[in-house]
Structure 1
Amino acid sequence: MAMNKTFLLALSLLASAPAVAAVDTQYDDLVRLARTGDTAPVLDYLKRHQTDQSVQQREDNIVIASWAGRDQETVAAYRRYPHPEQLSAEVLGSVARAYRNLKQYAEAAALYRNAQHQVPNDPQWVMGEMLVLADDGKGGQAVALGKPWVDRLSGEDQAQMRTVMAYALLSEGARYEALHQMERAFVTEYPGDFQGELRERYGQVLTRGEMPMAALSIDAGLTPLQRLQKQSDEMALRVRVAVMDSRRESERLQATDEALARYASLLKQCAATPGAEAIARQMRIDRLGLYDGRGMPQQVVREYDALKAQGGEVPPYARVWVARSLLKLRQPARAERLMASAVKETEADQPQPWMAGRILHAQTLTLCHRIDDAAREIERIMPLEGRYRWVINYPQTEIDSTWLTLQLNHASLLNDKAQNEPALAVFEDLCRYNLGSTETCVPLADMYRNNGWPRRSEQRLKMVEGVSPRALELEESQAYTALALREWHQADVLTDDVAQRYPEDYDVGRLVRANQVAHMAELRLTASPDRSSGSTTVRGSHSLGMEGTLFSPRFLDHWRLFAGSGYSSSRFDEEKGHGRWQRAGVEYSGRDLLVSADTRYQNYGVGHEQGYRFTLDHDLSDIWHWGTLVARRSTEAPLRGRIAGVHADQYQAYGRWTPDDEHAWELAYTHWDFSDRNRHQQVALSGEHRLWAVTDLRLDGLLDVEGRLARYSTDAQSYYSPKHDVAVMPSLRLTHRLYAFYENQWQQTFELGVGHYWEARYGSSPMLMARYGQQLQMNDVLALGATVGWERQSYDGRAENDLQLSFDMNYRF
């Protein structure tokens, strides 16, 4: 209800003669200035003298803050008032309106009831409570409260009551009954000229009743401030619908851009209209929703900071837009603090949790890597939401969207907590009951891909494609799956499509980046110094191995060239040997096939040699893989033999079983054909099994079994070559994630192993191993690793201690 400022000012200044006498001349002048619409000076004065205000000044603070539209300040001044029960009905009404604007409906309704108790025959306080009930989703109660008053009133009062009833009916979806009440109010009950507030509410009801042209026809009688307030209310409604899907994709952003242009025009009008500061502030707050929907996170945060700097609070519903924008700008900690305060304020005065706010708060906690806190947040509100909801005029129930969102977040958090099987069960259950839905089946496909099952992911996405072939979430997931399958052209097409259609979308930007990284040039570097000690050093001591390879950007979708160089050295019986090689080749990477071939120019101090290497890795499915390797004059042959003039050809075949990202087994057979006519057959079995995992820790059990059989044509004196041997090394590996922030990851690993080694003619001996390493992934393009390890093993019956260091780097540019 609008309040006569002159009356309230007179009330505040004349209620107590001694109080007036106590107010200095400066304060008098500031209050008179506030009456003209310039409220900032007196409010600043009152803020500076907050601790020594008189009782009358405290009441003035409430009233003038209400004039200025500073709802938080109005409520704060009311709470500081020493005897609120002594306030007049008019002042209580000002505070009630502030509570209503802040969506604290219970307090607003209570104050309206208190005002009515003071003036029981004045209907305006009943109407105020009815408006609050309607905003709180209790339109039925509001209508019931107003019905007894309709027959008691007449003329303008009755017309005003009917407009309030119409507003309440609209909140219940009773559009035609609301319009009927408006017709009764202005045609039958009150045929005179439309007055200010009645005209304003009439236009509001007509607008919400989807009759905007009729609403415009009554605007002529509004004052400039009333017109701006009405336009502000209408624009607030437009914000809610401007970001919704349009009938044609080409018009998707049209409504948002038009609304932004309209806001720019209205804010210019506010700047030229005295007393419109509060209206302009509300417009700027509502405009944050348009910036958020338009994909302008920097503008959202910039405007929010400006609003905060100018004083006053931004309501919780607007802080949701700000928090989402902060997440897009990779500021999850600030977004979390913002949502925590918004949830606390919203729930302080309502009995039920704010579901949307708590879900977003849980998402901010997840991105802050506070997984357990996020899980508790979701688990706290999950039991409060039912699975089904009834739709009006529809005979069957449907899945409640909030319940579904909670379930999806819960499953995602289970996955983050390394509870993969329960998470997968939830995702599969949701997709099964919502077959073809992008909302449920795309997250399931994403989890398949993250578990190492890109083909299963592709199949699930194909089922969704038949229902929503161009859904954004679907195409994004298909593009990531194409990258996992090395379907480079398909990934390009999908990425280009969504980037063209949704250039402002944050997730699309991340996909574009991932696709760019997959096509970049690549540099791989490794280095491994080694220090060995023992009675003899059959593998050499003070060893060093280095290799670097540069890959070109991808061309013709599947091809890239590479070139590299390597160096190795070691000391054998006071003699130091070393070797160098350069290589150049080509790599083909396709859906199921990864093939590389290169030629190598080698020098081990006994003349130059030409070698080549061919590798093939074939994916039979997501689980089964096989491959082969053929190398002439292999650089993996023992260095001691190479510097003595002995080279070797290597032939290998292997099969790998990877049922998921927690288990893997590989069996490999390698044949070595040495130039001194010796032959080696080697069989190796390696595997790992996840034993335990929580959010940032996982423990894996490893097993390496290797057996070798040698057939001699001559004695292999120049290099270590046991006739028969078997090595069994079980070990445990603990992986600890130290830091996680979007694509940046930092982790450390600890590995311990105790095994057994048996060699023909020398018997058996224990094997010991300990390793510690750190790995760092930065910005999708740089991966660094360093490992230090110690091993103790016998060679020809003599134990050696090896201290090994290894470094590796992978950089894309």
Structure 2
Amino acid sequence: MFHSKWKKKALATFLTLIVPTAALGSEDYQQLITQARKGNTQPALTWFSQHPDLDENKLADWLQIASWSGQDKQVIEIYNRYQHKSLPLRGYAAVAKAYRNTQQWQHALNLWHALYEKDPVNKDYLRGEILTLADSGKYDVALEKIKALNQHAPDNKNILIEAYIYKISGRYEDELLTITRAMSFSSALAPQSEQYLNALQNNFLPEAVLSRTDEHSVSPTVRVDAAAKLVRLSAMPTRTEKERYNIADRALALYEGMFKEWKDKPEYAASYQRARTDRLGALVSRERNKEAIAEYQRMTDEGLTLPEYARYWVATAYLKDHQPKQAEAIMSALFYQEDGEINTLSMEEKADLFYSHIESEHFTPAQVLTEKMVRTTPAYRSMQGSPAQLPNDEWLQGYQLMSSLVRYGNDLPQAEKITYDLASKAPGNQGLRIDYASVLLARGLPRAAEDELKKAEVIEPANLTLEIEQAYTAMTLQEWNQAKLLTEDAVKRHPENEAVKRLQRANDIHQLSELRIGGSVGLDSEGPDSGKHDTSLSSVIYSPPLATNYRAFAGYGFSHSRFSEGKGNVRDWLGGVEWRSRDNWMEAELSGRNFNHKTKTGARVSGWHDFNDHWRIGYEGERLSRRTPLRAMKNDITANSGLINVRWYQNERREYGSSFSYLDFSDGNHRYEYSLEGKERIWTAPSLLVDVQPALYYGRNTKADTPYFNPEESFDIVGTVQANHLIWRNYDKSWTQEISGSVGNAWQKNYGNGMISQLSYGQRISWNDVADVGATLRWEKRPYDGEREHNVTVEFDMTFKF
């Protein structure tokens, strides 16, 4: 049965040729036939139904006019009633058409075949048989017959029928090719013809349809298809970001025009609904994710059910808008079967599903997904017709996701191993080299990362991901000018890219002022060193960067405690300059220290120098040192100090440092202190890190019988286990808790050994890289002059950038 205007027009074209042109009797009868030819068939059909005694020609007229009016069942009924009569061939042709339209294929074929045998000159009978064969699904036989007919009797109608066969058999490319060939030698087929426009649309070329006709003259389906194709193109990862944005903008402009015309018009309801749905994809491609989410929520509130592809767009928008739990819920419903198996997904869908799990802090499903990809995907694939083995992109994606998984899970050694193996096996793959450098940077090895990025730069210097990673590396190395230039270039080239926006934010944060506050409050203390009810506070505010490497700072602090000889109070006002450059950091400070109702001027110079990623040397010299015990200052004793330290850093899992300090007290005492401390990570999980921190300390003083705690010699050995647990995290926001316990031994000359024990519990909140606040409750018990005494203290620190 015909289901389109094209099909009916094709039949009408050749059936019209077999309508007799001779006079049909009386003038009134002729008038009825003339009206029927013009489309007004009802008067003639009424007349025929009232005159059952008809001759063969009038019966043929009745059959034809009933056929024109689309009353196929009536045609067959009339034929069955009068089949004892011998009708003109045109009458049988109308019956054959009716059989065909009602899918009575064999009856139709029998009639068409008989008609062609009686009148082989009339090729329309053979064409009717061929069309019926095609409609019945015998495409190959129909194609063979129409090609043979066209070879012996070339005709434009033959080519159109060939195109029709290709169309209904789903061979749309051949349909378009056939019609295009026909247009080359037939003026009846113009670029605006219905057949050609339909062929373009069948080949998903709606934009070509619009380019050949007025936008408002085509069907709403064509307009929606044209915009939908732009949406699909805008999501293709092979295009540049600028191209994708331009294509998405074109689609959005088309949708705006449709909405203005179709809104609140019931006849366009279906097309309007589809346009709203497809527009979500254009918004996501254009990085207008909040708009996409808001539109989705409006559609949901209206009770509309979106198709799966649109819900995936919405999930992508949620993921890009840092709402991973909503994205995960949608994607899990779309991609997981009831038995937990994962549906067949594209590479992009797998990546989005993976990151929806990871960024929702659900590592188990991310691990299951990734391990299945790695386990079931071969490294090479075969292409049909080629003996060569080709690299499998899905295998590579599986290992890249695996490196991201272990990196999110804090297993950076495994992440480094995976990315190094991939980068070394594919030295021409710039992206793998950048991934490796990114892991090195995360491990605290910025110079090694810089070297890898330099190697990657040879392949494509203008690569955006490369430029972003180079900018972060430059910031870590305190190469502020380089970081600024790289950031400015990335923003200029791709201002709307999410990664570029994050880089711009990091650069903007570097330009902020900074406030640091720290202190402690003694809740219960028995020690002679800190006194009772001791309190300390320090605060420093830094200016935004000045002349690239400099910051000015000013601060205030105080210390207070009670001793047997009275209260001790010290207040400090300070100001200075900080200098930060590659491999170096330094501060120079002047201070006014107020104690015992007088103020003295102090000074400090501190700094460090990095020789490479692993070795650092630090130094400090201070007049009226803040390392002077408060009890000494209560007794009007001050000290100047000097310090030098060396740090060896392997990576985030292991580091050791040693230091030597010297205090020169105004009472003639000289204090020498040596320390060695380190860190070894013994446990790693996505939300838990456990470190062992060994520490050694040796101190010696040259004077005894001082009013402050001043052991002649002392030696401490302490081992600490510290666990850091992630309670909650959402991108740059996190809430953690820290528990530590220490056990050790303290030896003091003339007093022997005693046990050191310590427990602490703290929490910390970090917010958007501009606020970091922590507080810790600490209990400690250790010997002083042979007596074990305890201290309970609350310590806190805060950093704000504004």
Q: Given the alignment, which residue of 145, 151, 170 partners 2:144?
A: 151
Q: Given the alignment, which residue of 160, 164, 186 partners 1:160?
A: 164
**Is the Cα–Cα contact under 8 Å of residues 172 and 199 in structure 2 kept in the other structure?**
no
1:517 aligns with 2:521: no
Cα distance in structure 1, aligned partners of 2:664 and 2:517: 29
Cα distance in structure 1, aligned partners of 2:529 and 2:104: 104
**Is the Cα–Cα contact under 8 Å of residues 538 and 719 in structure 1 kept in the other structure?**
yes
Cα distance in structure 2, aligned partners of 1:438 and 1:337: 34
1:502 aligns with 2:506: no
How much does 1:410 deviate? 1.5
Q: Secondary structure at the match of 2:740?
A: strand
Q: Given the alignment, which residue of 628, 631, 634 partners 1:640?
A: 631
Q: Given the alignment, which residue of 767, 772, 776 partners 1:787?
A: 776
Cα distance in structure 2, aligned partners of 1:652 and 1:348: 61
Unmatched segments (≥5 aa) in structure 2: 6-100, 109-136, 150-157
**Is the Cα–Cα contact under 8 Å of residues 445 and 613 in structure 2 kept in the other structure?**
yes
CA 1:617–1:802: 2 relative to 1, 3 Å: same
CA 1:434–1:808: 2 relative to 1, 3 Å: same
Q: Secondary structure at the match of 1:295?
A: coil
Q: In the alignment, residue 668 of structure 2 is paired with which amino acid?
A: R
Q: Which residue of 1 aligns with 2:200?
A: 203
Cα distance in structure 1, aligned partners of 2:799 and 2:363: 29
Cα distance in structure 2, aligned partners of 1:477 and 1:237: 34
Structure 1, residues 515-572: CA drift from partner, whole Å, max 9, x if none? Answer: 11122111111121124544x6344222111111111111111110111111111222
How much does 1:440 deviate? 1.9
**Is the Cα–Cα contact under 8 Å of residues 524 and 533 in structure 2 kept in the other structure?**
yes
1:690 aligns with 2:694: no
CA 1:120–1:474: 2 relative to 1, 3 Å: farther
Q: Which residue of 2 aligns with 1:542?
A: 533
Q: Which residue of 2 aligns with 1:649?
A: 640
Structure 1, residues 268-321: CA drift from partner, whole Å, max 9, x if none? Answer: 444598633222322332222222122211221222233334444322222232
CA 1:356–1:329: 2 relative to 1, 3 Å: closer
**Is the Cα–Cα contact under 8 Å of residues 176 and 196 in structure 2 kept in the other structure?**
no
1:439 aligns with 2:415: no
How much does 1:615 deviate? 0.5
How much does 1:586 deviate? 0.3
Q: Which residue of 2 aligns with 1:728?
A: 717
Q: Which residue of 2 aligns with 1:707?
A: 698
1:417 aligns with 2:406: no
Cα distance in structure 1, aligned partners of 2:584 and 2:590: 20
**Is the Cα–Cα contact under 8 Å of residues 514 and 799 in structure 2 kept in the other structure?**
yes
Structure 1, residues 367-396: CA drift from partner, whole Å, max 9, x if none? Answer: 111122222122234434333345789885
CA RMSD, 1 decimal: 3.6
CA 1:269–1:185: 2 relative to 1, 3 Å: farther
Q: In the alignment, residue 201 of structure 1 is paired with which amino acid?
A: N
Cα distance in structure 1, aligned partners of 2:353 and 2:107: 44
Q: In the alignment, residue 718 of structure 1 is paired with which amino acid?
A: P
Identity percentage over the alignment? Answer: 28
**Is the Cα–Cα contact under 8 Å of residues 385 and 403 in structure 1 kept in the other structure?**
yes
Q: Which moved more, 1:664-673 or 1:190-199?
A: 190-199
Cα distance in structure 1, aligned partners of 2:104 and 2:633: 106
CA 1:775–1:117: 2 relative to 1, 3 Å: farther
CA 1:194–1:812: 2 relative to 1, 3 Å: closer
Cα distance in structure 1, aligned partners of 2:243 and 2:524: 70
Q: Which moved more, 1:349-358 or 1:640-649?
A: 349-358
Q: Secondary structure at the match of 1:233?
A: helix
Q: Which residue of 2 aligns with 1:339?
A: 331
When the two structures are aligned, how many residues end up with a matched partner?
670
Q: Secondary structure at the match of 1:683?
A: strand
Q: Which residue of 1 aligns with 2:312?
A: 320
Cα distance in structure 1, aligned partners of 2:168 and 2:480: 61
CA 1:164–1:424: 2 relative to 1, 3 Å: farther
**Is the Cα–Cα contact under 8 Å of residues 166 and 172 in structure 2 kept in the other structure?**
no
Unmatched segments (≥5 aa) in structure 1: 6-115, 124-143, 171-176
Q: In the alignment, residue 364 of structure 1 is paired with which amino acid?
A: S
Q: Which moved more, 1:481-490 or 1:496-505?
A: 496-505
**Is the Cα–Cα contact under 8 Å of residues 160 and 185 in structure 1 kept in the other structure?**
no
Cα distance in structure 1, aligned partners of 2:475 and 2:765: 22
Q: Which moved more, 1:553-562 or 1:227-236?
A: 227-236
Cα distance in structure 2, aligned partners of 1:570 and 1:347: 66
**Is the Cα–Cα contact under 8 Å of residues 763 and 776 in structure 2 kept in the other structure?**
yes
Structure 1, residues 348-371: CA drift from partner, whole Å, max 9, x if none? Answer: 999745553333122111111112
Q: Which residue of 1 aligns with 2:649?
A: 658
Cα distance in structure 2, aligned partners of 1:439 and 1:586: 41
Q: Secondary structure at the match of 2:219?
A: helix
**Is the Cα–Cα contact under 8 Å of residues 163 and 182 in structure 1 kept in the other structure?**
no
How much does 1:730 deviate? 0.5
**Is the Cα–Cα contact under 8 Å of residues 448 and 454 in structure 1 kept in the other structure?**
yes
Q: Secondary structure at the match of 1:509?
A: helix
CA 1:756–1:218: 2 relative to 1, 3 Å: closer
Larger Cα Rg: Structure 1 or Structure 2? 2
Structure 1, residues 683-710: CA drift from partner, whole Å, max 9, x if none? Answer: 1011110011111112111111100122
How much does 1:636 deviate? 1.2
Structure 1, residues 699-745: CA drift from partner, whole Å, max 9, x if none? Answer: 11111110012223xx3421111111100011111111101111111
Q: Secondary structure at the match of 2:400?
A: helix
Q: In the alignment, residue 754 of structure 1 is paired with which amino acid?
A: V
Q: Which moved more, 1:326-335 or 1:596-605?
A: 326-335
Cα distance in structure 2, aligned partners of 1:666 and 1:145: 84
Cα distance in structure 1, aligned partners of 2:636 and 2:342: 85
Structure 1, residues 146-198: CA drift from partner, whole Å, max 9, x if none? Answer: 53553367966543222355x5475xxxxxx6654445787899988999984
Q: Which residue of 1 aligns with 2:707?
A: 718
Cα distance in structure 1, aligned partners of 2:605 and 2:106: 96
Q: Secondary structure at the match of 1:261?
A: helix
Cα distance in structure 2, aligned partners of 1:268 and 1:716: 92
Q: In the alignment, residue 616 of structure 2 is paired with which amino acid?
A: H
How much does 1:243 deviate? 5.4
**Is the Cα–Cα contact under 8 Å of residues 191 and 197 in structure 2 kept in the other structure?**
no
1:594 aligns with 2:568: no
Cα distance in structure 2, aligned partners of 1:699 and 1:251: 48
Cα distance in structure 1, aligned partners of 2:2 and 2:606: 82
CA 1:212–1:697: 2 relative to 1, 3 Å: closer
Q: Give the TM-score taking structure 2 as reference length.
A: 0.76
Q: Secondary structure at the match of 1:770?
A: strand
How much does 1:334 deviate? 1.2
Q: Secondary structure at the match of 1:477?
A: helix
Q: Which residue of 1 aligns with 2:792?
A: 803
**Is the Cα–Cα contact under 8 Å of residues 575 and 589 in structure 2 kept in the other structure?**
yes
Q: In the alignment, residue 320 of structure 2 is paired with which amino acid?
A: K
CA 1:603–1:145: 2 relative to 1, 3 Å: farther
Q: In the alignment, residue 733 of structure 1 is paired with which amino acid?
A: Q
Q: In the alignment, residue 404 of structure 1 is paired with which amino acid?
A: L
CA 1:672–1:393: 2 relative to 1, 3 Å: farther
Cα distance in structure 2, aligned partners of 1:542 and 1:758: 27
Matches within 5 A, 1:391-406: 397-406=389-398
How much does 1:634 deviate? 0.1
**Is the Cα–Cα contact under 8 Å of residues 529 and 629 in structure 2 kept in the other structure?**
no
Q: Which residue of 2 aligns with 1:675?
A: 666
Q: Give the TM-score taking structure 1 as reference length.
A: 0.75
Q: In the alignment, residue 147 of structure 1 is paired with which amino acid?
A: D
Q: Which residue of 2 aligns with 1:15?
A: none
Q: Given the alignment, which residue of 751, 765, 772 partners 2:761?
A: 772
Cα distance in structure 2, aligned partners of 1:119 and 1:563: 96
**Is the Cα–Cα contact under 8 Å of residues 337 and 343 in structure 2 kept in the other structure?**
no
